[in-house]
Structure 1
């Protein structure tokens, strides 16, 4: 398989994993995403399967021609083995309590230095978030993030892709800090914007198929939320009119509980299904809220 074919593969992640709390370097992201593209979606998989990433694969994604590519790959794989991911699990039914799964991305690594590759085995807990996804998942192409050299930019791109049909996403600053697992880094909002948000937005605009603009919203006098407005660059080039109404993150454009889709979109929160947002809008209407 050619390098171009390799990076043109699709990535599928459950929305819960897209919104999970974790921090990976660009090198670790490239390894993980390369392995995810190899997951078969048409059949069950087990944690016995090994996924291979060669130095050539890594070089194609990183754009490097260094003689130390294999060492970079091997070192990043070892760091990845030690990384944690915190995944929030929604309760069954309409209960309000959530639980959090803390797990690792991979359970073992096999180094095959003579062939210039490493093989990784996903952890058992990770599998449900990568395979046999029929709803509540996000899809994009590996080539979309191949040129991004910031882990924050890759995370932001995924979060935008999750709401690709909406064209706008609002998240609280605290939620974004938690999702990026900053652990007290950049406590001042000006530093958070300078070190995380602005560089990530710049890279998404420069290297992906999306354009994105960002703004901030205050709660009282305090900046509490970031608002990202985005769309496909191709839509601008072809002169297609931008959507004038927010669209739900699914193909279903009908009202739910008698509430228009644009009203439901305003009540959506990170991690919500469309039905969850509709229920929240319905309860707000019953309570006499706007």
Structure 2
């Protein structure tokens, strides 16, 4: 599979309403399939993606889990769109009609719905093309959809769209985004920033109002050919910063009777980064070591979260905090444990709740970590507000 393959779709398909929106991962699978279509093809084929490539497109780590991939394929097959027709009518169709796992070859063969044939094959006019590699680094499904729409209008350098229509085209139709402020901040601005940073396009917008309400968005589109993305070489492993999953797995290797799941760890690691920056993993390892050696801690995960929230409070107040100060003596030798006063400023019983000190820096770090885990904007908002 080559990231430099071209994705070519009819403009009507680009303009389709996403009734049950694809996630960013699902978008990448579908667009990878589109990029496999040849200009001379007269019918759809089964588009074969190896389990390894499928795994990479989904951003999954570790060994391939076939049950998980099966569930993802089933979910992908349920996603539908409404395509406008030139005569004013419309077509409702699913993206994928079948998924066939070929065990002996380690391949999944995916088939497009036959209804999509006139929108993907033998296109002579009114179509849009772009390199697959330009969207592979985008993390938000809204960024990918907006990029496609901008590519359609790139030749004019301008596009105007009613806000409600834009919501439907991007698939941002949940109640959360019915307020324009939420839609602008969490969908539109995020997508524009990601496109400007990671692709060959640069977008600016102007809000057109009807009375006091924003009625339409006017897009200005610039194309920078020199920013066309061509599958960059992967940096050498020794130069790569460890991912949050690698750090979580390392710490899970030293825990006892409990493990950090992804959402929990994104929360505590955001706190640790805010307080200790590059020393975050080291300080967490010290706290884990302390918990391992203290038999009075009945709820390790609750204890760790409480102590990190307390450390954040101390950090916000200007104090320098380090779990390196925890010097727990051996009970067998009778040595008294030396623990800093701040560590005992809160009772860690189950009945007490420790107030969360939320800083902008902490919120930004947590949001970035959740994005790195492949969470959708909706899932991120739920985690941020949970």
- Does TM, scored on the shorter chain, surpass 0.5? yes
- 1:213 corresponds to which residue? 204
Structure with higher Rg: it is: 2
Q: Name the CA distance, whole Å, in 1 between partners of 2:36 and 2:60.
A: 22
Cα shift at 1:138: 0.4
Q: Is the 8 A contact 2:9 2:127 kept in 1?
A: yes
Task: Please say if 1:122 is aligned against 2:112.
Answer: yes
Bigger strand share: 1
Instruction: Give the one of 78, 85, 89 matched to 2:85.
Output: 89
Q: Name the CA distance, whole Å, in 2 between partners of 1:162 and 1:113.
A: 39
- 2:15 corresponds to which residue? 19
Task: Please say if 1:173 is aligned against 2:163.
Answer: yes
1:174-223 Cα shifts (integer Å, max 9, x gaps): 11112123334311110001111011111101211111122211122210
Q: Is the 8 A contact 1:62 1:146 kept in 2?
A: no
Q: Name the CA distance, whole Å, in 1 between partners of 2:140 and 2:57.
A: 13
User: Which structure 2 residue ranges, 5 or more long, are not aligned?
Assistant: 228-386
1:66–1:211 distance in 2 versus 1, CA, 3 Å: farther
1:50-69 Cα shifts (integer Å, max 9, x gaps): 11112333355456553247
- 1:95 corresponds to which residue? none
Q: Is the 8 A contact 2:200 2:226 kept in 1?
A: no
- 1:105 corresponds to which residue? 95
Instruction: Give the one of 217, 223, 240 matched to 1:232.
Output: 223
> 3-state DSSP class of the match of 1:133?
coil
Q: How does 1:47-66 map to 2 (within 5 A)?
A: 49-61=45-57, 65-66=61-62
> 3-state DSSP class of the match of 2:155?
coil
> 3-state DSSP class of the match of 2:189?
helix
Cα shift at 1:226: 1.3
1:64-85 Cα shifts (integer Å, max 9, x gaps): 5532475654433221101111
- 1:274 corresponds to which residue? none
- How many residues end up aligned between the 2 structures? 225
1:130-172 Cα shifts (integer Å, max 9, x gaps): 0000100000010000101110000000000001111121111
Bigger helix share: 2
- 1:152 corresponds to which residue? 142
Deviates more, 1:77-86 or 1:146-155: 77-86
Q: Name the CA distance, whole Å, in 1 between partners of 2:65 and 2:146.
A: 26
Q: How does 1:127-276 map to 2 (within 5 A)?
A: 127-185=117-175, 186-234=177-225
Q: Name the CA distance, whole Å, in 2 between partners of 1:8 and 1:69.
A: 28
> 3-state DSSP class of the match of 2:17?
coil
Q: Is the 8 A contact 2:142 2:171 kept in 1?
A: no
Q: Is the 8 A contact 2:29 2:54 kept in 1?
A: yes
Q: CA RMSD in A?
A: 2.2
Q: Name the CA distance, whole Å, in 1 between partners of 2:166 and 2:27.
A: 18
Q: Name the CA distance, whole Å, in 1 between partners of 2:185 and 2:41.
A: 44
1:245-277 Cα shifts (integer Å, max 9, x gaps): xxxxxxxxxxxxxxxxxxxxxxxxxxxxxxxxx
